[in-house]
A and B are shown apart, each in its own frame.
Chain A
Amino acid sequence: MSERPFEETDHGMQQNAEVMPGFGTGSTQNGAGREPDKDLVNLSYKCPNCTMPLKFDNEMKRFVCEYCDGSFLLEEIKDAADGKEGYNWHEYKEELDEEELVGTKSYVCKFCGAEIVTDAVTSATKCPYCGNVLLVAESLTGMLRPNKIIPFEVDRDQLITLFNKFVKKKHFVPKQFKDNPVLKEVMGVYEPFWLYESGVDGRVDYTATKVRSWSDSKYDYTETKYYEVDVSGEVHYMNVPADGSKRLDDNTMDSLEPFDYSKMIDFEPGYLSGHLAERFDVDADANLERTKLRMWNSTEAQFRGSVQGYSSVSHKSSSLRQFDRNVKYALFPIYVFAIDYQGKRYDYAVNGQTGKIVGELPFSKSMYRKWKWIRIALITAAAYVIGFFLN
Chain B
Amino acid sequence: MRMKRVFFLILAMMLLLMTGVAAAQSQSDSEKAPVSADGQYYDFNRIVDVTNSLTDEERAEINKCLAEFIEGAKLDLQIYIIPSAETFGCESVAEFADRYFDDPKYPSGYGAERLSLFYIYETDNGKSELYSYGRAKNQTTWGVMKAKFYADYYMQAGNVYDACYGLIDRVWKDLDKSHTIRAARNDMMNPSGFHPFHNETVSRVLDYADLLNDEQRKAMEERLTKIRETYHMDIVVLTAPDSDGKVWEDFADDFYDYGGFGYGEDYDGMILFVDMDPADRGYTITTCGTRGQNLYNGLVETIYDDMFDYFKSAQYYDGINVYINHAVRQINHVELPSSFEGIERSQIGDATDAARVISQDGILKESVQNKLEKAIKSIRREYKTDVLVLAVNDTGDYYPVDYLYNYYTFNGYGEGGKRSGVGLILVDGDTDPAKFELLTFGGTGDKFDEAAVERLSSMVSSALGSDKFDRAAEKFVDKVEFRLKWGHYPLRTSTTIVLFVIVFIVISIIASIKKAANKTISKAVTASEYMVPGSYRIFNIEERFINSKVTKTRRPEPSSTGRSGGGGGGSHHSSSGRSHGGGGGRHF
Q: Is B8 an interface residue (CB 8 A)?
A: no
Contacts of A371 in B (CB 8 A): 511, 514
Contacts of A254 in B (CB 8 A): 522-524
Besides A236-B535, A254-B524, 17 other A-B contacts (C-beta < 8 A):
A171-B514, A171-B517, A217-B555, A219-B555, A220-B553, A224-B549, A224-B551, A229-B543, A233-B536, A237-B530, A238-B530, A251-B523, A294-B525, A297-B525, A301-B526, A302-B531, A391-B489
Q: Which residue of B lies closest to A361 (CB)?
A: B518
Selected from A234, A250, A359, A384, the residue in CB contact (under 8 A) with B539 is A234
Given known pairs A226-B546, A226-B548, A379-B507, the reply for A173 and B518 (CB within 8 Å) is yes
How many angstroms from the CA of A368 to the CA of B517 in the assembled complex?
Answer: 13
Given known pairs A238-B532, A380-B503, the reply for A233 and B522 (CB within 8 Å) is no
Given known pairs A219-B555, A222-B551, A376-B503, the reply for A387 and B518 (CB within 8 Å) is no
Contact A236 B532 (CB under 8 A): yes
Q: Is B520 an interface residue (CB 8 A)?
A: yes
How many angstroms from the CA of A368 to the CA of B554 in the assembled complex?
Answer: 52
Contact A237 B532 (CB under 8 A): yes
Q: Which of B31-39, B116-124, B147-155, B492-500 contacts A (4 or more CB under 8 A)?
A: B492-500
State the A residues within 8 Å of B (CB).
Answer: 170-173, 199, 201, 208, 215, 217-240, 249-252, 254-255, 257-258, 291, 293-295, 297-298, 301-303, 306-307, 357-361, 363, 368, 371-372, 375-376, 379-380, 383-384, 387-389, 391
Contact A230 B541 (CB under 8 A): yes
Selected from B496, B527, B543, B550, the residue in CB contact (under 8 A) with A222 is B550
Given known pairs A229-B543, A380-B503, the reply for A297 and B526 (CB within 8 Å) is yes
Q: Is B488 an interface residue (CB 8 A)?
A: yes
Selected from A220, A363, A384, the residue in CB contact (under 8 A) with B499 is A384
Given known pairs A371-B511, A384-B496, the reply for A306 and B541 (CB within 8 Å) is yes
Q: Is B432 an interface residue (CB 8 A)?
A: no
Q: Which residue of B lies closest to A223 (CB)?
A: B550
- In the complex, per-residue mask of B509-522: 1 if CB is within 8 Å of any chain A CB, else 0: 01100110111111
- In the complex, per-residue mask of B364-404: 1 if CB is within 8 Å of any chain A CB, else 0: 00000000000000000000000000000000000000000
Q: Which residue of B lies closest to A171 (CB)?
A: B514
Contacts of B526 in A (CB 8 A): 294, 297-298, 301
Q: Is B547 an interface residue (CB 8 A)?
A: yes
Contact B541 A231 (CB under 8 A): yes
- Closest chain B CB from A114 CB (angstroms): 20
How many angstroms from the CA of A391 to the CA of B496 in the assembled complex?
Answer: 12
Q: Is B3 an interface residue (CB 8 A)?
A: no
9 closest A-B pairs by CB: A236-B535, A254-B524, A294-B527, A358-B520, A236-B532, A233-B538, A171-B514, A226-B546, A219-B552
Contact B495 A387 (CB under 8 A): yes
How many angstroms from the CA of A298 to the CA of B532 in the assembled complex?
Answer: 12
Given known pairs A170-B518, A227-B544, A380-B499, the reply for A372 and B507 (CB within 8 Å) is yes
Given known pairs A258-B529, A376-B503, the reply for A388 and B523 (CB within 8 Å) is no
How many angstroms from the CA of A232 to the CA of B541 in the assembled complex?
Answer: 7
Contacts of A215 in B (CB 8 A): 555
How many angstroms from the CA of A372 to the CA of B538 in the assembled complex?
Answer: 49
Q: Which residue of A lies closest to B528 (CB)?
A: A298
How many angstroms from the CA of A171 to the CA of B543 in the assembled complex?
Answer: 49
Contact A221 B515 (CB under 8 A): no
How many angstroms from the CA of A387 to the CA of B515 in the assembled complex?
Answer: 31
How many angstroms from the CA of A359 to the CA of B518 in the assembled complex?
Answer: 9
Q: Is B231 an interface residue (CB 8 A)?
A: no
How many angstroms from the CA of A251 to the CA of B525 in the assembled complex?
Answer: 10
19 A–B contacts, CB within 8 A, in A order: A199-B535, A220-B553, A222-B550, A223-B549, A225-B548, A226-B545, A226-B546, A230-B544, A233-B538, A235-B531, A235-B532, A237-B530, A293-B525, A294-B527, A302-B531, A303-B538, A306-B541, A384-B496, A388-B491
Total B residues in contact with A, Cβ cutoff 8 Å: 53
Contacts of B521 in A (CB 8 A): 249, 251-252, 255, 358-360
- Closest chain B CB from A282 CB (angstroms): 16
Contacts of A234 in B (CB 8 A): 535-537, 539
Q: Is B504 an interface residue (CB 8 A)?
A: yes
Main secondary structure of the interface of B (DSSP, over half): mixed
Given known pairs A250-B523, A375-B507, the reply for A235 and B536 (CB within 8 Å) is yes
Q: Is B508 an interface residue (CB 8 A)?
A: yes
**Which residues in window 42-60 of B have CB below 8 A to A?**
none
Given known pairs A170-B517, A234-B539, the reply for A255 and B549 (CB within 8 Å) is no
Contacts of B341 in A (CB 8 A): none
Contacts of B490 in A (CB 8 A): 388, 391
State the B residues within 8 Å of A (CB).
Answer: 488-491, 495-496, 499-500, 503-504, 507-508, 510-511, 514-515, 517-532, 535-555
How many angstroms from the CA of A302 to the CA of B535 in the assembled complex?
Answer: 11
How many angstroms from the CA of A224 to the CA of B551 in the assembled complex?
Answer: 8
Contacts of B547 in A (CB 8 A): 225-226
Selected from A220, A223, A228, A251, the residue in CB contact (under 8 A) with B522 is A251
How many angstroms from the CA of A254 to the CA of B522 in the assembled complex?
Answer: 7
Selected from B499, B515, B529, B555, the residue in CB contact (under 8 A) with A172 is B515
How many angstroms from the CA of A250 to the CA of B524 in the assembled complex?
Answer: 9
Count A-B contacts at CB 8 Å: 180
How many angstroms from the CA of A252 to the CA of B511 in the assembled complex?
Answer: 24
Main secondary structure of the interface of A (DSSP, over half): mixed
Q: Which residue of B lies closest to A221 (CB)?
A: B552
Contact B527 A376 (CB under 8 A): no
Q: Which residue of B lies closest to A308 (CB)?
A: B541
- Closest chain A CB from B482 CB (angstroms): 11
How many angstroms from the CA of A383 to the CA of B546 in the assembled complex?
Answer: 53
How many angstroms from the CA of A235 to the CA of B551 in the assembled complex?
Answer: 41
- Closest chain B CB from A157 CB (angstroms): 22
Contact B527 A237 (CB under 8 A): yes
Contacts of A208 in B (CB 8 A): 543
Contact B518 A298 (CB under 8 A): no
Contact A372 B549 (CB under 8 A): no
Contact A255 B532 (CB under 8 A): no
Contacts of B528 in A (CB 8 A): 298, 301-302
Contact B524 A294 (CB under 8 A): yes
Given known pairs A368-B511, A383-B499, the reply for A233 and B545 (CB within 8 Å) is no
Q: Which residue of B lies closest to A252 (CB)?
A: B521
Contacts of A199 in B (CB 8 A): 535
Q: Which residue of B lies closest to A293 (CB)?
A: B525
How many angstroms from the CA of A257 to the CA of B531 in the assembled complex?
Answer: 15
Q: Which residue of A lies closest to B546 (CB)?
A: A226
Given known pairs A224-B548, A235-B536, the reply for A363 and B520 (CB within 8 Å) is no
- Closest chain B CB from A171 CB (angstroms): 4
Selected from A217, A218, A233, A384, the residue in CB contact (under 8 A) with B537 is A233
Contacts of B496 in A (CB 8 A): 384
Contacts of A359 in B (CB 8 A): 520-521
How many angstroms from the CA of A226 to the CA of B548 in the assembled complex?
Answer: 6
Q: Which residue of B lies closest to A310 (CB)?
A: B543
Q: Which residue of A lies closest to B502 (CB)?
A: A383
How many angstroms from the CA of A196 to the CA of B99 in the assembled complex?
Answer: 123
Contacts of A252 in B (CB 8 A): 521
- Closest chain A CB from B295 CB (angstroms): 33
Contact A171 B550 (CB under 8 A): no
- Closest chain A CB from B530 CB (angstroms): 5
How many angstroms from the CA of A257 to the CA of B525 in the assembled complex?
Answer: 12
Contacts of A379 in B (CB 8 A): 503, 507
Contacts of A229 in B (CB 8 A): 541-544
Contact B488 A391 (CB under 8 A): yes
Contacts of A360 in B (CB 8 A): 519, 521
Contacts of B508 in A (CB 8 A): 372
Contact B552 A220 (CB under 8 A): yes
Contact A240 B515 (CB under 8 A): no
Q: Which residue of B lies closest to A172 (CB)?
A: B515
Contacts of A368 in B (CB 8 A): 511, 515
Contacts of A225 in B (CB 8 A): 545, 547-548
Contacts of A291 in B (CB 8 A): 527
- Closest chain B CB from A239 CB (angstroms): 6
